[in-house]
Structure 1
Amino acid sequence: MSKKRALKLEVPTLEDVDFVAANIRESDRQDMEGLHSGKSVREIIMGDVVYSKLVYGLYRNGSVQGIFGVIPLLSNVGTPWVVGSVAVDENPLPFARASRGLLDMLQRSFPLLDTWVCSRNSKSVLWHEWCGFEFEKEKVRLGRDEYFHAVRRVGKSKMEVS
């Protein structure tokens, strides 16, 4: 991958959060609105930032593409989250290529990643599958939508299984 296309990790600024909130991809907006009725996208992102142990921005060509982190549940269990700007949908390949490694990095602190994936959000479902999350078959209503419970364990990514 050329350096021009590679994603870089940096600590995001408040301006980066504002940019992603103002330019959030539609699928992420719908997920947030379904879970957090009445809150702004920025409020939701900042809530995740505040509760997270690790938070990073994803940058391509000097521009923030998304923000991600992990919220501790237990000492070895965390809930990962990611929000992308419309730029991720416009050019998803660099993000997809980097995703497994980013999750592997989070799993150095949290060997078990535990999350809920909106069943309506096909992009999120596919991304979680690509990254090696295992899904429970049953859906659970959370807020407005139905969600799958999904986990990713150390050593269980699709890259290692395939």
Structure 2
Amino acid sequence: MAEAEVLPVSVDDIAEILPFVRQADIDEISEALGVPMERALYDAITGSLNARKIVAGGKVVAVFGDAVYSVLGSVGVPWLISTVHVEQHARAFLKVCKPEVQGMLTRHHHLLNYVDARNTAAIRWLRWLGFHFSPAAPYGARRFKFHKFTLSRGE
């Protein structure tokens, strides 16, 4: 079983990652939010304080980062886009997730984002990471049901 490495990611990596993005992530970004995945990856990578990629077995299993939502409230927006390779390297992927979320909480007091209510794998993973959820409500360009999820430093 391959260990996962957390490495810097740049916009130059998008072409390599794009063909392998999981369908649930495409649905969430492209369908529900109305943004093409290529644009979402570009905006996420360039707008993050610490954009990274998780690589296992020579394959990018996910890209993630955290952006500033509010400087005054020290609120950050964690995000992650996974690829089809994440399932093959699930254990290695999970091993690096909690330390990365803790790293985000050193940069922000609170983390906040939204997840498509249909993305059950992401919701299960976010619960495992300790995030709290609001009931699903219409969100984004297409008004699909999303859960707001939050986590605060010290929880």
2:95 aligns with one of 76, 86, 97: 97
* Identity level (%): 17
Q: Among residues 4, 7, 21, which one is paired with 1:7 in the alignment?
A: 4
Q: Deviations over 1:61-104 (max 9, x none)?
A: 33322110111011211101111110002332221222111101
Using structure 2 for the length normalisation, give the TM-score: 0.88
Unaligned runs of 5+ in 2: none
1:66 paired residue number: 62
1:112/1:68 Cα in 2 relative to 1: closer, same or farther (>3 Å)?
Answer: same
CA 1:119–1:138 in structure 2 vs 1: closer, same or farther (change >3 Å)? Answer: closer
Give the alignment partner of residue 34 of structure 1, picking from 31, 34, 41: 31
| SS, match of residue 90 in structure 1 | coil
Contact preservation (8 Å) 1:16, 1:64: no
Unaligned runs of 5+ in 1: 157-162
Instruction: Please give the per-residue CA displacement for 1:109-143, whole angstroms capped at 9, x wherever unaligned.
Output: 01211011111110111111111001113523333
Structure 2: distance between partners of 1:141 and 1:68: 21
The range that moved more, 39-48 or 120-129, is: 39-48
The one-letter code of the counterpart of 1:55 is: A
Q: How many residues align?
A: 152
* Corresponding residue number in structure 1 for 2:15: 18
Match of 1:78 in 2: 76
One-letter amino acid matched to 1:46: Y
Correspondence 1:143-162 to 2 at 5 A:
143-144=141-142, 145-156=144-155
For 2:40, the equivalent position in structure 1 comes to 44
Question: 2:61·2:89 contact (CA, 8 Å) conserved in 1?
Answer: no
Distance 1:137 1:21 in 2: 31
TM-score (norm 1): 0.85
- Which stretch has the larger CA shift, 45-54 or 132-141? 132-141
